[in-house]
Amino acid sequence: MLFILCNGIHCAYGQDSLPTIVAQKGDGILSLLRKQGVNPHEAYDDFIALNMDNLRDSVHLYEGRSYKIPQLPMDTVAVVDSIQKQSTKIKEIKGKEYSIFGKKYALVLPKSECLKETVYYLVSGHGGPDPGAMAMYRGKSIAEDEYAYDITLRLARELIAHGAKVHIIIRDPDDGIRDDRILEIDRDEVNYPKETIPLNQVARLKQRVEAVNQLYLKNKGKYQRLIVTHVDSRSKGQNIDVFFYHHEKSKNGKKLAESIHKTFQAKYKKFQPNRTYSGTFGDRTSLYMVKKTHPAMAYIEIGNIRNKKDQRRILDPDNRQALAKWISEGILLDYEGE
């Protein structure tokens, strides 16, 4: 039987009967699940739950170890109709397709309705003619906007699965969610709905602020929040943790940033107990997006694209999925605390 809970769809398995697979060199959670014919984004949480004691930092496989593979139905879920009658009723779980996530991940199945009454605006940094921070990895250029966008798409998918209405402000017509380490750089991103992104920095920021604020007015009276995602650029030797900003006068913005920050603290404490998490949250109203947008917001810096340790956090698709998952859990924590 499968049981529907508020915080997601969780499966009750006979764990001994589940298939197992030995991780090979180079395998990640997403690639391992895909090779087994399982949708990696639908089975990701259940894989983590089944194999928690056999993962490094909660997201990395150990080469040569065996892992249980969850078997998830893609379109139906059995629920208990009546314990007295000892019968089950089949309830169809209808997903919805979003082409922006790419062909592989277009279908989003519901996990809960916890965010049903909410509206979220997601903005990934830079885009269009401006790639943002740049670095080299194995002889190839990598750019901030591609990785911030990929994490943003993954976050959007998580929030939609929990019932939220999500507006993705910076959009790419053909990238979708990508599971590559090196994300090819292009210049075809547009600003919601389909506006060409200007090269001038002030014009670019003003354009996305206006898009968010216009949508905010249309949704007046609803619960609305904004998440802005960037990848920082500092000296190569500076390894930084994920940190968060909010508007100094926004009580709700502070609460949102703090909730996500607390979630990251808890994750690091659980999965990396010997490592001190130094990421912080605080106000930084000098930032244009923080200062000018209407919704309560959290501005997130994922890491230093030029630092080798931070590059592992950014380039590994499993890490990008974990980042999106942790941010979404912080957002759920924030909303549940209302």
Residue 317 has a pLDDT of 95
Residue 60 has a pLDDT of 81
Residue 8 has a pLDDT of 39
DSSP track, 6-32: TTEEEE---GGGS-EEEPPTT--HHHH
Confidence tier at 89 by pLDDT (50, 70, 90): very low
- The first and second tokens of residue 174, run together, are 């053909």
- Mean pLDDT value across the chain: 87
- Reference 170, options 203, 216, 121; nearest CA is 121
Residue 3 has a pLDDT of 34
Residue for token pair 């630092």: 307
- Reference 292, options 223, 233, 207; nearest CA is 207
DSSP helix, strand, coil percent of the chain (3-state; round to 5): 35, 25, 40
Contact (CB, 8 A) for 108 and 101 = yes
pLDDT top residue among 221 and 233:
221
Confidence tier at 73 by pLDDT (50, 70, 90): low
What structural domains does the chain harbor? 2-68 (no CATH), 96-336 (3.40.630.40)
- H helices of the chain, in order, are 29-35, 40-51, 144-161, 201-218, 251-271, 288-292, 308-315, 317-336
Confidence tier at 240 by pLDDT (50, 70, 90): confident
What DSSP state is assigned to residue 289? H
239 pLDDT exceeds 70?
no
Residue type, 207: Q
Residue type, 104: K
Does 273 sit behind a cis peptide bond, omega within 30 degrees of 0 on the bond before it?
A: no
Q: How buried is 138 (Cβ within 10 angstroms: 0-12 exposed, 13-18 middle, 19+ buried)? A: exposed
Least reliable range by pLDDT among 69-73, 86-90, 180-184: 86-90
316 pLDDT exceeds 60?
yes
For residue 203, what are the contacts with CB-CB under 8 A and spacing of at least 6? none
pLDDT top residue among 338 and 28:
28
Give one word for 213, left, alpha or beta, with left for phi > 0 and alpha for psi -120 to 50: alpha
The residue-averaged pLDDT of 39-54 equals 82
Cα–Cα distance measured from residue 224 to residue 273, given in angstroms and rounded to the nearest whole number: 35
Residue 234 has a pLDDT of 67
284 pLDDT exceeds 70?
yes
Query: What's the pTM value of the predicted model, to 2 decimals?
Result: 0.80
- Reference 124, options 180, 175, 181; nearest CA is 175
- Reference 150, options 131, 122, 188, 176; nearest CA is 176
Least reliable range by pLDDT among 88-97, 125-134, 135-144, 275-284: 88-97
* Predicted confidence (pLDDT) per residue in 117-126, tens digit: 999 999 999 9
Residue for token pair 């109709």: 81
- The first and second tokens of residue 181, run together, are 């380490």
Residue 44 has a pLDDT of 82
Residue 45 has a pLDDT of 77
Least reliable range by pLDDT among 207-216, 227-236, 249-258: 227-236
190 pLDDT exceeds 70?
yes
- Reference 111, options 9, 264, 250, 228; nearest CA is 9
Contact (CB, 8 A) for 244 and 327 = no
User: Torsions phi, psi of 124, nearest 5?
Assistant: -95, 145
